[in-house]
Structure 1
């Protein structure tokens, strides 16, 4: 059910009123972050602008980037997400290459697109196992819809834990559950003045670095080289 006054705001490419669910999932389809409540008229760029995901990453910098890995002969400390091509070229977003011009780029694009399908499978499994998500919502209030969505995600994660048989999977903590059920109210929504408060200038600097297109290009080039080296090593073992 959707109030007539909100139908235009909530109607997007689907042609009917919808509320958007953003999730971050791994290869197990384990959901460790979700953001729910954006109107269906928003595209992915608008949603990521409203999503607290990047701000959580910036504020909890020591947690997200507390490890190091080597790719293409270079050391990096930046966690990154595999995304589709509509996302901006931030340092933390690795998208595919739409028109790869070399065998290296073609290999990267193929691997990126195949692994990125994990999140698409996650949405499919959510809708397949939890019928309430397939049907038009009969819930009137956004907050109640959030409770239902949270319950569905928790049930989904419990199923994944049981199927994988891995005890002690990380819990979906309140810090990883976000909703956009009211208009943004300024800096407080970014978390700068919350429990995990950091200096505003430090937040701005970290956020600026996170949005670096140069860092995005450097990491993607390193990943391309790393995949090519691994592919060569794999072929040599045959």
Structure 2
């Protein structure tokens, strides 16, 4: 019941006050005021105190059920079901749980003010993995994991930050010298392209809850709704070596490239040395396979639009086949982590960025755990610290020189011509590409 007076009583008081013809006006006013006071007292006594409602979810029951289903010595669900539900092997998941629990106090089991045990690390991290894997609403996990909606969202945010802090340096790193050597050998054996470092492309992630004031800059005609773009470089083993996320969806691949840090190490002179020879010509920079929208730079190899020569037709077939590595990586990423396949339901770009990078890190971890990805990584092989200089003309001249070499169109055409001859010499007119 409302704590305010009945509107009909107020209207009646106003009517009586306006009526000056009756002699018993004062008595009627006093009677109506007494009625209002009784009504107000009754309403106040029936009101419930405004406090947060508590639901006894029996969190311990949820932990026991989760443990018996997947982590006991004889679990209900075997290993292949675990991998299907968690997108990774049990051993990898437990390593992640251990690392995150040691890193963050949030994921440890704590005792609340009432003396009850809180949620276990398995419950918290499982809820985050399930949100990433299925892209489901947060309240869907309440019945099984016994966790509320707001707590589930908080677990997801904390999980993403922990994964980036712990594993970002290793699984979002740029290729070091050992990685470059592996990538050159891998792509030469698998695709026949000497000097190839990977394939580059962009992906759109639909943003359902984009603020109205931003929709104009995040929407593009061919997408139909606001999106955020991801630029990525992937190798033949589906490892994502470069990820640049957060550019507004109204851009195209060239605009994203102009903002991307992909070639920062090359321009600053800290990229690993790449030397290879194709068709008798020596080259000093690795390259990426790209589609037609990318510029004609020395570090990009594009296909031909409408070739008629048999050699160029064969090269177009091989280049487009090898360039599908990045498309396959996008497909596996979206299939494994459905949250980046469906529309994003969060409001803040920073949270979307954390989710995207977390999915890429977990993707690379699974590739390393199950595939033939890079294994020779060491924390000491990180990129060297770039010294800070104050306007040295000599360094700036070297920067301009490296930028000119990077964007050299003559080298681009020379490299593509030599690759056409190399592909034809190796594969010829055979349909077998191995």
TM-score range, shorter chain: 0.7 to 0.9
1:1-238 to structure 2, matched below 5 A, reads 1-12=209-220, 13-63=222-272, 66-165=273-372, 168=375, 170=377, 195=386, 199-232=395-428
Gaps of 5+ in 2: 1-208, 390-394
Whether the 8 Å CA contact 1:161–1:169 is kept in 2: the answer is no
**Distance of 1:196 and 1:163 partners within structure 2:** 38
Deviation at 1:88, TM superposition (A): 0.4
Deviation at 1:210, TM superposition (A): 0.5
**Distance of 2:217 and 2:398 partners within structure 1:** 35
Per-residue displacement from partner, 1:163-201 (whole Å, max 9, x unpaired)?
2155625589xx99xxxxxxxxxxxxxxxxx93558222
Deviation at 1:59, TM superposition (A): 2.0
Deviation at 1:120, TM superposition (A): 0.5
Q: 2:74: which partner in 1?
A: none
Per-residue displacement from partner, 1:12-44 (whole Å, max 9, x unpaired)?
221111000000000011011100011110011
Which segment is superposed worse, 88-97 or 142-151? 142-151
Aligned CA distance change for structure 1 residues 92 and 167 (closer, same or farther; 3 Å): closer
TM-score, scaled relative to structure 1: 0.83
Whether the 8 Å CA contact 2:246–2:353 is kept in 1: the answer is yes
Higher relative contact order (CA 8 A, sep 6+): 1
Q: Tell me the matched-pair count.
A: 215
Whether the 8 Å CA contact 2:367–2:373 is kept in 1: the answer is no
Whether the 8 Å CA contact 1:81–1:93 is kept in 2: the answer is yes
**Distance of 2:337 and 2:359 partners within structure 1:** 7
**Distance of 1:196 and 1:216 partners within structure 2:** 31
**Distance of 2:320 and 2:428 partners within structure 1:** 20
Higher share in helix: 2
**Distance of 2:330 and 2:387 partners within structure 1:** 31
Aligned CA distance change for structure 1 residues 159 and 8 (closer, same or farther; 3 Å): same
Aligned CA distance change for structure 1 residues 115 and 2 (closer, same or farther; 3 Å): same
Gaps of 5+ in 1: 177-193
Deviation at 1:143, TM superposition (A): 1.6
SS of the residue aligned with 2:263? Answer: helix
**Distance of 1:104 and 1:207 partners within structure 2:** 31
Deviation at 1:86, TM superposition (A): 0.4
Aligned CA distance change for structure 1 residues 29 and 197 (closer, same or farther; 3 Å): farther
Deviation at 1:234, TM superposition (A): 7.6
Greater gyration radius = 2
SS of the residue aligned with 1:225? Answer: helix
